[in-house]
């Protein structure tokens, strides 16, 4: 009797743990390229078969360039995995301004990318759900204004159908209100802002100093079952340095504290 009860308790605990994670099975982990980054994530990498929210800060919330570049690096690394061979990425847009040559230089080849332009927010989320649950799709990148709790749950269920990974890029519509971060259903929430890069001293710059690889101020705002953190990272091995190395998408430049995060805002206000 006692043992039976203990067994039942153990089963309930596992259930609760699963519910707390709120997710189905994780289909592997994607390394971000640096152990110090990976260690902040539960399981030592970005969980596949779930969806992640990537937002911008400041002007990036509208242009969505740095978050998109970060997402493209992750997607490129994901598609390069041997178990994703032959699968495609689906990029869902609201505003049709994605430029494939730029993605190619970040390591995401155009021939493995299907572009979709949705007419409204609900349609974009619907397409994302449909694509995530389809065979032959490895990763879905969706640019939407916000994901509410219901939509987030639906995305998660779609991810579980076939193990597709979702990267939701929060992008405020033109002149629209503030993009709300309500994505409590996401496995992780990232905030990406551009950061001043190191000049490329020996580089290809024709006038003065060339530009080195792009740098981002990366903030892990929320991570289910993990801890948050902030880092200064650099896109490692982009086309700037010849062959695009997609296995290690990011290179850690520095770990940041809260004070470092606040600094650039003050700087731009002064400028």
By beta-carbon proximity to another protein, the closer residue of 21 and 81 is 81
Could you give the angle at the alpha carbon of 202 between the alpha carbons of 256 and 207, nearest 5°? 100
211: left (phi over 0), alpha (psi -120 to 50) or beta: beta
Phi, psi (degrees; rounded to nearest 5) at 219 = -125, 125
Residue 142 contacts residue 167 (beta carbons within 8 Å): yes
H or E, element range at 83: none
Q: How far is the CB of 185 from another protein (least distance, A)?
A: 23
One character per residue 105-144, x = contact with another protein (rule: CB under 8 A) = xx--xxx-xxxxxxx---x---x--xx--xxxx-------
Please say which residue, 65 or 221, places its beta carbon nearer to another protein.
Answer: 65
Nearer to another protein (CB atom), residue 10 or residue 59: 59
Please choose, out of 9-17, 88-96, 179-187, 249-257, the segment that lies near another protein by the rule CB under 8 A.
Answer: 88-96
**224/238 with CB nearer another protein:** 238
For the bound state, the minimum distance from the C-beta of residue 176 to another protein, rounded and expressed in Å, comes to 15
Q: Does 58 bind another protein (CB under 8 A)?
A: yes
Size of the site for another protein (CB under 8 A): 75
175 binds another protein (CB under 8 A): no
78 touching another protein, by CB under 8 A: no
Q: Nearest distance from residue 222's CB to another protein, in Å?
A: 22
Cα 222 to Cα 239: distance, rounded to the nearest angstrom = 31
| 144-163 positions binding another protein, by CB under 8 A | 162
Contact yes or no for 183/52 (Cβ under 8 A): no
Stretch 224-263 residues interacting with another protein (CB under 8 A): 239-240, 242-244
**What is d(CA 62, CA 212) in angstroms, rounded to the nearest whole number?**
25
Closest separation between CB of residue 31 and another protein, Å?
A: 20
Rounded Cα–Cα distance for residues 268 and 271 (Å): 5
Q: Is the dihedral of CA 125, 146, 57, 191 positive or negative?
A: negative
Q: Which residues of 118-178 form beta strands (DSSP E)?
A: 137-144, 165-170
CB atoms within 10 A of CB 201: 9
CA distances from 222 to 5, 15, 183, 207, 227 (A): 36, 22, 10, 42, 7
Among 1, 177, 208, 266, binds another protein (CB under 8 A): 208
Quick check: helix, strand or coil at residue 93?
Answer: strand
Q: Which of residues 10-29 bind another protein (CB under 8 A)?
A: none
CB of 252 to another protein, least distance (A): 16
Our finding on whether 202 is near another protein (CB under 8 A) is no
- Is the Cβ of residue 188 or residue 234 nearer to another protein in the bound state? 234
- Provide the token pair at 225: 């079952």
Smallest gap from Cβ 163 to another protein, in A, equals 10
Out of 26, 98, 252, 253, the residue judged to bind another protein by CB under 8 A: 98
């Amino acid at each position: 009797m006692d043992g039976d009860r203990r067994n039942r308790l153990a089963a309930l605990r596992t259930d609760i743990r699963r519910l707390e994670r709120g997710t189905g099975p994780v289909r592997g982990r994607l390394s971000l390229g640096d152990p110090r980054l990976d260690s902040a994530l539960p399981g030592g990498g970005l969980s596949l078969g779930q969806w992640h929210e990537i937002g911008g800060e400041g002007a990036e919330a509208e242009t969505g360039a740095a978050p998109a570049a970060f997402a493209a690096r992750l997607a490129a690394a994901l598609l390069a995995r041997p178990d994703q061979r032959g699968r495609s990425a689906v990029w869902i847009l609201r505003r049709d301004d994605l430029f494939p040559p730029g993605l190619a230089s970040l390591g995401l080849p155009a021939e493995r990318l299907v572009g979709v332009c949705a007419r409204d927010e609900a349609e974009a989320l619907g397409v994302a759900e449909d694509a995530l649950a389809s065979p032959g799709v490895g990763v879905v990148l969706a640019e939407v204004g916000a994901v509410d709790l219901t939509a987030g749950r639906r995305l998660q269920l779609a991810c579980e159908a076939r193990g597709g990974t979702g990267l939701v890029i929060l992008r405020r519509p033109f002149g629209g209100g503030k993009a709300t971060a309500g994505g409590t259903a996401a496995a992780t929430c990232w905030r990406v802002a551009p950061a001043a890069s190191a000049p490329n001293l020996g580089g290809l710059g024709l006038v003065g100093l060339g530009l080195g690889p792009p740098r981002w101020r990366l903030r892990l705002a929320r991570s289910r079952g993990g801890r948050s953190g902030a880092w200064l990272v650099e896109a490692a091995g982009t086309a700037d340095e010849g062959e695009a190395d997609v296995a290690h998408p990011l290179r850690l430049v520095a770990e940041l504290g809260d004070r470092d995060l606040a600094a650039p805002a003050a700087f731009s206000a002064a400028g």
